Amino acid sequence: MSLILSGYIFNGPTSLVDYKQTDVDGLFAIFYLKYPDKKVADYGVLYIGDTKEIEETPGFPKEHKKYSCWSEKGGGEENLYIGFCPTPGLMPKKKELIKRHLIYKYNPMCNK
Query: Model's pTM, two decimal places?
Result: 0.94
DSSP alpha helices (H): ranges in the chain? 52-55, 67-74, 92-106
Domain segments of the chain as ranges = 2-111
Cα separation, 101 vs 95, whole angstroms = 10
Write the pLDDT tens digit of every residue in 11-64.
Answer: 989 999 998 888 889 999 999 999 888 877 899 999 999 999 999 999 999 999
CATH 1.10.10: does it fit domain 2-111?
no
